[in-house]
Every structure is written in structure tokens, then in C-alpha cells.
Amino acid sequence: MEQKKKQKETGSSKQIDVLKKNFPQCFDKHGKFMPQKLNDIVQASDTEFSKESYSLSWLGKSYARLLANENPLTLLSEDKAHNEKPENINSKNLLIKGDNLEVLKHLQGAYSESIKMIYIDPPYNTGGDGFVYQDDRKFTVDELSKLAGIDKGEAKRVLDFTQSKANSHSAWLTFMYPRLYVARELLKDDGVIFISIDENEMAQLKVLCDEVFGEVNFVECICWNKRIPKNDKGIGNIHEYVLIYVKDSSVKHKFLMPKDGLDEVYGLLKKLKRKNVSITVAEAEIKKLYSKNGYDRGITLYNSLDEDYRLWGKINMSWPNADSLGPDYEVLHPKTMKPVVIPDTGWRWKEETFNEVANRENGEYKQVKELFDGSFVCGGIWFASDENTQPSSVKYLDDVKNFLLRSVQSIKSDGGVELKNLFNDKSYFSRPKTTSLIKVLISSTQNSEDIILDFFSGSGTTADAVMQLNVHDNGNRGFICIQIPELIDVKKEAYKDGYKTIFDITKARIEKAAEKIKTEQPDYKGDLGFKVFETKPLFSGYSERIEKLEGKQTKLFDGTALNDSQLEQLLTTWKVSDGIPLTTELKPVKLGKYTAYQHDKVLYLMGKGFSTGGLADFFKKLDSTKGKDKGFEVEKLVLFGYNFESKHLKEIQDAVNQYKNRKQKFVSVVVRH
């Protein structure tokens, strides 16, 4: 019979567990680590050793590691009134109220390696954004010294700053490290994280992410041109950053942008063609529109027009790899018939590919079209007016479905306007992110069935963006949003309008965004609901260890005193820990007069009153080959031990053992306290 143990985690206990699981040969019979054994494994794999290394150190790093490894200190509770509404009852979307570190740890059980994309907009630590480190964990100097593996002097300095509402770089890094560490465990192998940041913590975040995700898994730092300047340092600052890391760089990644938002471009083309404007003037008008609206660089490459006013662009024909050369062959200019300039690195294509695209045979071009500027197009190849310019391949905008995600994004920061439109001209947030940016990032991950996680949800932009994208491409993405119920100042307009916490605004924004879609797209049948859960404190005494009971505290935790609501919290927490998604409802199962709860092959027995008759009914259901109990399968019984007397626990275990021996069916009994 398995008993769930409570144990204190240290700053490296989970990492050691990973080593023991994957490299048991590196530990002796006493559990001592033998580094030379691991060294031998690495050498045998032909992996090169680096003699250079660096790391980011700060006051509180050991403490941050401890927090990353610590078990959750809360329970999960369901908002049944909200979740049972018609629009929410079948939804797979989630909004969770609570400290995001606690929630992330809870999610590890059911969502480990399940998230395709994470987007977060954490506090920037500008000194004016309200960020302070707050921590309600209670450690003595001796406890922290032992668990974090640091001396008592450092332990005292760490405890001093964690309890002083600090906003230093060290405080910010201590805050971010465990959240990023746990979040990484939730990503799929092909998963990606996007992190918005500005210059205040950009340098620190980059090195921190190199450590958490691995330097090899860094993809790019996007520069987001918000096009709204701030002038707080004597310069018009109009940009922020978005760091991109993948879970595993060995998995092929390609970040694409859909060809959206071009209605104004095509509208202008129709107008210019109708007025019979010259190609030269039309091209100038298109370029002017691109510049005015800040179109992405990938689109602005398509700035040439043919005689039918179709936009096309020129793509470089040189070999892209500087470490090796592409093929080298002669290409004659279609007019002068002299060899054109060959790229320094060679051609991008093999000669037969070039001939096919250029519609060339035996060195001659079957079709030669001279353009108004004196250049030429042969098939899908563009040539300048003479042989002194390298040719380019031609691509029409109409034939393009996606662009590569660019490292510079010019997207107007209109998140405040979006929020005002939803909240009757009231924003409540000074600088909320725009859905336009988030939709570009989400779209770049390509799969429309993904789960998107945002654990700094704020105004709820990510959830709004996910729903909008699903409407646009008929996708089935889901979102998980986490927001702490940070109190709103009573003097703020939001508080006067009835919103007591940031979470209240997050929840209202998602509901209003869904209503907006329903109004504008009445035929849309996708998921516009979401379920709400929140973290709750552990029951008093539930997490205490027996050896810590002292003084007036002489009674052990009494689980028999828990009411139905508290048992439901415990059951919700356990099911997620056991790998069952939060949105999955447990099925009530009647065992005599007793009600158990089932998902798949796991059956939970939480309440009091389980009897011999209930046990007999359980085995009867297992043996049933017809009727409503046909196909009833259970391989794991989970019991809340406080509500079962010791003799009854033994009876259940003995009966299950006899059943297993008799029927040759595997059933385990897990008792948790």
C-alpha cells in the first residue's frame, strides 16, 4: 500500500532525482554521486568539453533554486458557479487566480510537456511600475542555510531582502528564476517561449534565460517598434524587446507570419489601376502606404508592379551559407548575352533548377519581357538592364501564404484603445499589450490546435488574442491564463467601478472579448468560454511535519474534520497532480450508498462512510460484462486516509490483493494523508 510522503525539497533535490533516474550508474550503493562516471559517459559520446564557462550570480540565486524545487504550498479550488454556465461548462480554456509560481507547480502534473507556446509580459522593474519582491514563505536562517546550501550569513541577507519589498536586480532575478524554471517543464519538445521586456532588465533576462533554457536554445531578440515614443531619458524611445527561446533546438523550428492585414494595400492597387496611374507612380504610392502604416519588412519587399498592377518582389539568388560555396555556372544576360556577375558564394540553386525557373534551354530564354524601367523578366527570374547586377528570383505577393517572422516588428501599441472599446471608454491599464503583437507571435508557431500559456495575464490580452485568431482561421487553440489577485488602489477608477483586484479585470476582459466576438460573428461555434480555478491556503496543520510539532501545538492534523467543499479542493488538487487536466470532470461512481469519483482508470475515495457493501459493489462493477457497468476499469484506488479506519484500509488492501491474484488484474491502492 503506497503512502504519499511529505518531504522538504532542497535547492537541488529535483535535479539530483533526474540524475538518479537517468544515470543510476553514477551513484554508489550509499547514494553518493561519482562525477567521474558521468565524465566517462560524456567522453564516450564524443561530446567536446568547454574549458570556458560563465554564469549570472546574484544575492538570492540559491534561494530561487529552492523555490523552484519546493512543492506547492496551496490547494486548487473550482469556481463552480462560473464553470457551470452554459458557455463555460464544456470549455477547455482556463483562467486561474493565484500566485503564478504556485499555479505553475500545480500545472506540472497534468500539463508537463503539453504547452506549445508561452507568452509572458512580466514586470519590467522600471522603478515606477510597482514591482517589489514579496514572499510570504517563512524560513529561519538555519532552515534556509541547510535547504539552500548556503552559509548563515548569506541566508540572513537573503531573508532580509525577501522581507523588505526590494526592487533591485537581485530581487527581480530571484522572482523570475523559479517561474521560468518551472514554466520550461511545461513546454513541449517543440515548444517556444516569448518574453516581453524593456531595457531595464533586458541584459539580465538574456543571461538568465541562457541558464534556464540553454544558450543553444536562444532563437532571437525581436525589436518591437511600438510607434508611440516615450521621452524619459532625453531620447524618443519607441521600442521594446521580445526574447524567443525554444525548449529544444534540435527540433526543427520555423517561425512564420500569415499574410494578413493587406486589405488597404489591395484596395489602393484597385484604385490606381482604375485611374490608369503609371506603374512608376503606382509603385511610389504603394511604398508610401507601406511607410505610413509600418508594414512588416517581409511585405514591403513586394514593392514592384507588373503591367496588371500585381505586386512582386526580388529575392536574392546568392548561396546563403558563408561556410561553403554554392554551385558556380554561367548565366547570360537576356539582352546583352554577356555573363552576369556571379555571387561571391555561388548560386542558391543548381543549374537545372535555374534553367527551369528562368524558362531557359541551351542558354537561351524562351520568354523575355522588358519592363518599363529597362529591366527584364525571364520566367521567374529578374535581370537588371545590363549584366553588371546579379539577377534575382521573382515572387508575386499573391502567391505568398506566409512570411518568416522578422526580428523587427512595427506594430502600433494600441492595447489601451482595445481595452477602452471593451470597457466603455475606460482602460484601467496604462500600457496593456496589443492583441496585434500577440497574434503575430502565436501565429508564428503555426499549429492551430495548440495550448497557449500566459502566467502574467494582466489585462487578458493573450486570451483575447487566442479567441480572435481562432475566429480568423477556424482554429482550436486553447489558453491557460494565470493572474494574481493584486489589490487595486481604492482611489483608482477601476476600483470605483467595482473591480477590486487585477484578476477581476482580467476575467471581465475575457468575458467582454467573447461577447464582442459573438455579436460580430453570430455563426461562430468555437470555444469562447473559460473555466475559473484559484489557489487556496493549505488546511491549517496539513503540511506540518510531526517533528515540528512543539509547544502548544500537540494535535496532529485531523482530516476527518474537512467539509465537502474542502474535500473537493483536495480532490481537484490531487487530480491535477495525477495528470488529469483541470477542465476534465471526474465522473461520480456509486458504490452502494457511497460516491466515488473516476477518470479513466483512477478512482478516488474521499469521503466517510465507505462500507463492506461498497467494496463488494466495486468488485461487481469490475467483473461486469453487460449493462451500464460494462467496461468499468480501475487500476488505481486513491483513498483519503483520514476518512478510513486502519482496519478498513487493511480490509480494502487484502480484498484487492485477493482479487488481483484471482483475476490476474492489476489494481493498486494508494492512501494519502
4 pLDDT above the threshold of 50 = no
Tens-digit pLDDT profile for residues 333-375: 999 999 999 998 999 999 999 999 999 998 889 999 998 889 9
Residue 662 — very low, low, confident or very high, per pLDDT cuts 50/70/90? confident
For residue range 545-600, list pLDDT tens digits in order. Answer: 333 333 344 456 888 999 999 999 999 999 999 999 999 999 999 999 999 999 99
Check if the beta carbon of residue 602 is closer than 8 Å to that of residue 638.
yes
Sheet of 369-370, strand order = 304-305, 311-316, 392-396, 381-383, 376-378, 369-370
- pLDDT higher for 227 or 276? 276
- What number is the average pLDDT over the span 39-45? 71
pLDDT of residue 40: 73
Tell me how far CA of residue 257 lies from CA of 102, 239, 316, 380, 595, in angstroms.
34, 20, 20, 24, 51
pLDDT at 65: 92
Q: Is residue 509 scored above 50 in pLDDT?
A: yes
Predicted local distance difference test score (pLDDT) of residue 386: 95
Q: What is the mean pLDDT of residues 194-216?
A: 95
Query: Average of pLDDT values for 57-73?
Result: 92
The region of weakest confidence among 2-6, 188-192, 278-282 is 2-6
Among 55, 105, 119, CA closest to 75: 105
In this prediction, residue 231 has a pLDDT band, given cuts at 50, 70 and 90, of low
Residue 421 has a pLDDT of 95
276: left (phi over 0), alpha (psi -120 to 50) or beta: left
Q: Which three cell numbers stand for residue 324?
A: 561553403
536 and 542 Cβ atoms separated by less than 8 Å = no
CA distances from 261 to 102, 274, 303, 312, 410 (A): 39, 22, 16, 17, 13
Render pLDDT for 416-456 as a digit per residue (tens, 0 to 9).
999 999 999 988 988 899 999 999 999 998 788 899 999 99
**E strand or H helix at 80, and its extent?**
helix 80-83
Q: What is the dihedral angle through the alpha carbons of 259, 262, 263, 265, rounded to the nearest 10 degrees?
A: -150
- End-to-end Cα separation, the chain, in angstroms: 13
Question: C-alpha 51: how far from its chain's center?
Answer: 34
